[in-house]
Amino acid sequence: MANEDSRHWEQQLREAAARAEQEVRRVVTYLNDEVVPDIRRNGSDALRAAAAELQRLAQRMDDRRAAAAAAQTPAPDKDKPTP
């Protein structure tokens, strides 16, 4: 009887493994047929959008650096006569 239970358990395990393998194949097929082509079509658009955001970030950094440098530069002394 224990031997019979063991065989039944092994059979269930094999069936579960076969179903899991089928599901993995379906997921891979879906990724290859649906996801990858979409990424290839829209990947360049995503890169362009990221590049535009990076450009804006770089501009803000430059603007802040310039503003900080201007704030640290002493203003000309108004009491001194100009030559």
3-state SS of 11-68 is HHHHHHHHHHHHHHHHHHHHHHHHHHHHHHHHHHHHHHHHHHHHHHHHHHHHHHHHHH
72 lies in a domain?
A: no
Work out how many domains the chain is built from and give that number: 1
Provide the domain limits for residue 37: 19-62
pTM of the entire predicted model? 0.47
CA distance 16 to 10: 10
Q: What is the pLDDT of residues 45-83, one digit of tens each?
A: 888 989 999 999 999 999 999 999 988 877 666 666 665
Note the pLDDT of residue 76.
66
Q: What is the pLDDT of residues 12-30, one digit of tens each?
A: 999 999 999 999 999 999 9
